[in-house]
Amino acid sequence: MLIVELEGFLERWDLGPGLYAYVGSARGPGGLMARVGRHLLKKFRRPKWHVDWLTSKGRPLAALLFPGLTEEELYRAASSLLKPAAKGFGSSDTKHYTHLFKLEPLPEALYLLYTLHKRGQLGSRGGT
């Protein structure tokens, strides 16, 4: 889960300033560290994925890793706790409404995810 602060507007998806959480599998060339580093350090010339547009205009703050959870399990938890931000964002390869969520307010949302994870209510299968 990538946490990004958007200070201006991202017109392509009609996103305003605020904190956002993006749910993704972080699988790809170079593995987890390469994907996370790409977004946290903005290691790309041109946006390739939807989340690249967000990180190119916003400020990546953190990457939260949930070992043992699949992308599907993390998506289900986020979608039950957080407000969807933009239809189709990052979810073109799934049937999900979106993979981008508005964090309002941040501490409570993260605490809820942490609490569910500790209780084993987010799932227990392998994956990220």
- Tell me the per-residue pLDDT of 75-96, one tens digit each, with 9 for 90 and over: 888 888 889 998 887 776 778 8
Three-state DSSP state, 63: strand
Provide the pLDDT for residue 105: 65
CB 10 within 8 A of CB 54: yes
Angle formed at CA 13 by CA 41 and CA 72, multiple of 5 degrees: 70
Instruction: Give 32-77 pLDDT, tens digit per residue.
Output: 676 776 667 666 678 777 778 788 888 888 888 887 788 888 888 8
Q: Name the residue with higher pLDDT: 109 or 76.
A: 76
Q: What is the pTM of this model?
A: 0.72
For the chain, domain boundaries: 2-118
Tokens for 5? 């602060």
Q: Assess whether pLDDT exceeds 60 at residue 128.
A: no
